[in-house]
Structure 1
Amino acid sequence: MHLSSSYFKNRKVETLIENQTSFTTARSSMHIFETQKVTEQVHLTFDNTVLATMIAGKKHMYLKGMPSFDFLPGESVVLPPQELMCIDFPIASRERPTRCLALELETAQIHKVVQYLNEYQPKVDHGDWSSLTANLHFAHDEEVTNIIQRLMFLFTEDHSSKDFFINNMLQELIIRLLQHASFKQYESPHTALQNSSQRFVYVIEYIKSHLDGDLSIENLSKKACMSTSHFYKAFKNELGLTPTQYINKVRIQAARRMIDQTNLSLKEIFMACGFNNRSYFNRQFKKFYNISPGDLQTGLV
């Protein structure tokens, strides 16, 4: 992600730790935090639900109810109001500052989007969409990356319709964040059993345990007792990914684990993960991890 020239023009460095540059509209705020020295145990909270996105550098994050984790570019966290972030900055410097975006989301706007989804895009089996009330850490897909990049430009732009543009982008962003939250529910068995469609819980577990089997839309829709068109539409609606995108993601993640933890050849790995074509496997792997499986296996990272 790239910061606009307007950001650098308006920014004033007043502290080396979490120097804040803010841009506001009538209903939302965006903050860019910049740290230029190694430090630990920095605490941060927001009054609203916040999307925090890494732009450059590296943080180590401590959030309630989650194991600590490295926070890297291409990743975001969503936190409810007044949720404490405890942050370490292991590599920040003047030459290479660590930068992070924090985008505050109004509770009223989130509720409005949730109401819209429950009315016009309800979940399978009459389940309800719910607000962003739990901590969420996720890697971006292309759509979320593009929205955040666009918002970074809009907040720093001097345009008479700026508030209107930003409000529309925020609505799309909230929908995609809700889909990511739904995706995490299905990935967490205990949460999924409580809050999610039993059909999709079963289908996702089936996919994970049959990576080298028949994962065609036709077969999966039968497992869900749905027509192929309804299954495809409902799956993408709730998880933000098409069934094929989800299957590729799970297969590539499994391949990565096998590369890291076994001595199997790449052919054995991609065949075990359900790929029949080496070049297609290579393309999907590099798209996901930005490195070829061969380079990863030989240590050329």
Structure 2
Amino acid sequence: MIDLNAAHYEKRKLISLVENRTIHSLNNAELNIFETHQQASQVLLKFSEPVLASMIKGKKVMHLENTHSFGFLPGESVILPSNELMCIDFPEATEQNPTQCLALAFSETKLKEAVEILNNRGTKQNGKEWSMTDYNYHFTNDIAINQILQRLIFIFTEKHPSKDIFADLLIQELIIRILQTESKSIYLKKALTDSNNDRISFVIKYIQDNITEDLSIEFLSEKAYMSESNFYRTFKHELGSSPNDFIIEERLKVAESLLRNPKISVKEAYMASGFNSFSYFCRIFKKKKNLSPTEFKEKSRFLNVEKRGIK
């Protein structure tokens, strides 16, 4: 999760209990930290440039134009076009538990530069160029995006003569990762509904249906009717992760789902998720989830007990 540093609090002045705004500005971007200390509803907010909003603490309910309303929780982000009107509710904010959210506004030029970098490396497999196809894209941050946002908070609040350069590079990386995250989510949806429509969706569906099998690059590239090098390059370019990393992600999803079931043991979850080494499974699970499989299972059991109201 993202944390606000001491440098932010040194500059911040608490003037309003609802969406108190602290602005950290650079040449090509502006980092806004919003804090709300009491319940509120229908608070309006708009930026003149594209913006990435990311929750730090608490809960919001976002009402956006041309999309459904959704709960906005820590570890989640949404990217919005310029002049998009946000209507926001704060159902749980209190003085003791304020809602905190960052909004990173950046220039259209920076967005175009990042898209151009991807297109210079190659268009998508269907021949279409990269673009921000869904501006109201709501997603869960992965580890890399969380790290970039944490680093940006540090850069915006430090006193370094080159911080504009540092921020420009990180924002470029952030936009590219968001575009690839969105592309991955599109492929995952297509794998569920129309996996025969393109080669990558077909391979994703095959991986999901055969998660315990030996899924080598050579074998998967044959399934996609592509050379190994072209398959690997296309997969990584469009999803932002290698085929092997994607397989690990899918196996972890299976393991996580099974570990939530009180009737399934850690060993059974490991065997059903396709990992070929129990020690590696435990190590990679803890690295990705910050909990060992056993700790995750115990936490899930405790949460299930709480939901049922059992003391």
Which residue is equivalent to 1:39?
40
Structure 1 residues 88, 296: closer, same or farther in 2, change over 3 A? farther
Aligned match of 2:307: none
Name the CA distance, whole Å, in 2 between partners of 1:216 and 1:51.
Answer: 37
Match for residue 166 of structure 1? 167
Aligned to 1:15: 16
Q: Which residue of 1 aligns with 2:123?
A: 122
Structure 2 alignment gaps of length 5 or more: 304-311
Within a 5 Å distance, the mapping from 1:13-162 to structure 2 comes to 13-63=14-64, 64-66=66-68, 68-72=70-74, 74-131=75-132, 133-162=134-163
The alpha carbon displacement at 1:289 in A equals 3.1
Structure 1 residue 193, shift from structure 2 partner: 6.2
Three-state SS of the structure 1 residue aligned to 2:260 is helix
Determine the C-alpha separation between the residues in 1 that align with 2:191 and 2:234.
21
Matched residue count:
299
Contact kept in structure 2, 1:32 and 1:100, CA below 8 Å = yes
For 1:48 and 1:190, the matched residues in 2 are separated by 34
Greater shift, 169-178 or 63-72, is seen at 63-72
Distance 2:127 2:193 in 1: 15
* SS of residue in 2 equivalent to 1:291: coil
1:257-293 CA distance string (max 9 Å, x none): 2333573333333222212333322333333333333
For residues 192 and 24 of structure 1, the distance between their equivalents in structure 2, rounded to whole angstroms, comes to 44
**Which letter does structure 2 place at the counterpart of 1:214?**
D
CA deviation map 1:165-214 (0-9, x unaligned): 222221111111111111111122299969x9811111111111111123
Most deviating of 203-212 and 110-119: 110-119
Residue 125 of structure 1 contacts residue 197 of structure 1 at CA under 8 Å; is this kept in 2? no
User: Which residue does the alignment assign to 2:207?
Assistant: 207
Equivalent pair of 1:76/1:138 in contact (CA under 8 Å)? yes
Tell me the equivalent position of 1:257: 257
Name the SS of the counterpart of 1:83 in structure 2.
Answer: coil
Counterpart of 2:273 in structure 1 is 273
Corresponding letter in the other structure for 1:258: L
Could you tell me which residue of structure 2 aligns to residue 222 of structure 1?
222
Q: Which residue of 2 aligns with 1:232?
A: 232
Deviations 1:20-68 (A, max 9, x none): 0011223211100011123344333322221111222333444453462
Shift of 1:221: 1.4
Structure 1 stretches of 5 or more lacking a match? Answer: none
Counterparts of 2:244 and 2:133, CA distance in 1: 26
- Length-normalised TM-score, structure 2: 0.85
Q: CA deviation at 1:86?
A: 3.8
Q: Secondary structure at the match of 1:31?
A: strand
Written as runs of structure 1 = structure 2, the 5 A alignment for 1:179-218 is 179-189=180-190, 198-218=198-218
Q: Show CA shifts across 1:191-250 (max 9, x none).
A: 9969x9811111111111111123221211111222223322221221111212211111
How many angstroms does 1:101 deviate by? 0.8
Supply the AA of the counterpart residue of 2:250. Answer: V
For 1:200 and 1:230, how far apart are their aligned partners in 2? Answer: 12
Shift of 1:152: 1.0
Distance 1:145 1:110 in 2: 19
SS of the residue corresponding to residue 124 of structure 1 reads coil
SS state of the match for residue 160, structure 2?
coil
* Change in 2 beyond 3 A, CA 1:225/1:169: same
Q: Secondary structure at the match of 2:95?
A: coil
Change over 3 Å in CA distance of 1:257–1:191 after alignment to 2:
closer
Give % identity. Answer: 42
Contact 1:54–1:101 at 8 Å: present in 2 too?
yes
CA distance in 1 between counterparts of 2:282 and 2:61 reads 30
Alignment RMSD: 2.7
| 8 A Cα contact 1:62 1:69, kept in partner | no
How many Å separate the matches in 2 of 1:282 and 1:138? 26
Over 3 Å counting, the alpha-carbon distance change for 1:258 and 1:70 in structure 2 is farther
2: distance between equivalents of 1:128 and 1:11? 41
Residue 12 of structure 1 and its aligned partner are, at CA, apart by 0.9
Separation in 2, partners of 1:85, 1:250: 34
